[in-house]
Amino acid sequence: MANWPDGRRVAVCLSWDVDGESAQYVRFPDRARRQLSELHQRLYGPQVGVWKVLDLLDRYGLPATFYIPAYTARMHPEVVRAVVRAGHPLGLHGYMHETLDTLTPEEEERVLVRSQEVLGDLAGYRPTLYRSPSWELNRHTPELLVRHGVRSDSSLMDDERPYLLETPAGPLVEIPIQWLLDDAEHWNHTRANRDKAIADPDAVFRLWAGEFEGYHQAGGCYVLTLHPFISGRWVYMQTLERLVRHILGFPGVWWTTLEEVTAWAERQSDLPRRASPPPEPVGGIRP
């Protein structure tokens, strides 16, 4: 069990990926040139949803972490200013929410450096937290992040507690996530995936609450990944508030940010150290 500060039993991190309209331009460029519907749907996040999120956090006195693509930050600087003013840390999330496996190493480095510059200028400091768009990392990504001063990543799914991911440039704090704890997997409904049913909010609450109860028992780091253009809708905000009230009923909860978890992990002398699986199976494929 993790040795959380002040004897707390479980860490809870509410995290928000404020993607805005950025992803549509790189995922469906032809559609973005011709059609408006998805661009406007995603604009709901920075224009409406994020303000509901900030209000919820303020009412309950909760911290959160906001990962923002640099393009979205440039287009909606008022969101960055509001997040910083409220005291919530920012994290890097690509420039245009580019999926990393579509980039060359040189392109990926340019995206990272430019994102650091843009968010740094708007926020007044350079974020050292990272979450990859679409939760995809290339083999060289962890080393690249360390070389450019990034302290933690939150994109991999092989544990319930932070650990150190070894890279040739030094260790990177990894704070694991999970598809189950991502609102997009349950509620993201667009023209492109209209066949995907919208999940019943009560069913999602049961999933999220049940998973939290397991993390509480095991002493894990419960990271909920949310998007203002999705969970910023009223019925989903009600579900999230219901979850917050549920978690508040448990003892020993450390409501925290991924910045604080990163700093905590850096102070631990016994944090597990892991290496990524090799690019080829050990001993070959054939028996």
- pLDDT tens digits for range 112-132: 999 999 999 999 999 999 999
The pLDDT of residue 231 is 96
> What pTM does this model have?
0.95
Q: What confidence score (pLDDT) does residue 283 get?
A: 83
Average of pLDDT values for 239-261? Answer: 98
pLDDT score of 34 more than 90: no
Cβ atoms of 92 and 112 closer than 8 Å: yes
**In the predicted model, what is the mean pLDDT of residues 170-186?**
97
Structural element, H or E, at residue 147: helix 141-147
60-71: b or e for each residue (b if 16 or more CB lie within 10 Å)? Answer: eebbbbbbbbbb
- Conformational region of residue 94, where left means phi above 0, alpha means psi within -120 to 50, and beta covers everything else: left
- Give backbone dihedrals phi and psi of 163, rounded to 5 degrees, phi first: -150, 175
- pLDDT grade, residue 193 (50/70/90)? confident
Q: How far is CA 64 from the centre of its chain?
A: 10
For residue 70, give the DSSP letter: H
Band (pLDDT 50/70/90 cuts) for residue 5 is very high
Q: Is the pLDDT at 220 greater than 80, yes or no?
A: yes
Over residues 127-139, the mean pLDDT reads: 96
Q: How far apart, in whole angstroms, are the C-alpha atoms of residue 202 and residue 64? A: 23
pLDDT surpassing 70 at residue 256: yes
* Average pLDDT value for the chain: 95
Q: What are phi and psi of 7, to 5 degrees?
A: 70, 15
Task: Give the model's pLDDT for residue 2.
Answer: 67
Closest C-alpha among 182, 176, 181 to residue 155 = 176
pLDDT-based confidence at residue 200 (cuts at 50, 70, 90): very high
Percent of the chain beyond pLDDT 70? 99
Which pLDDT belongs to residue 102? 92
The highest-level CATH class for domain 12-269 is alpha beta
Lowest mean pLDDT among 47-56, 163-172, 185-194, 264-273: 185-194
Q: Do 70 and 119 meet the contact criterion of CB atoms below 8 Å apart?
A: yes
Specify the pLDDT at position 1. 61
**In the prediction, which pLDDT does 271 show?**
97
What letter would DSSP give residue 110?
H
Cα–Cα distance for residue pair 148/81, rounded to 1 Å: 24
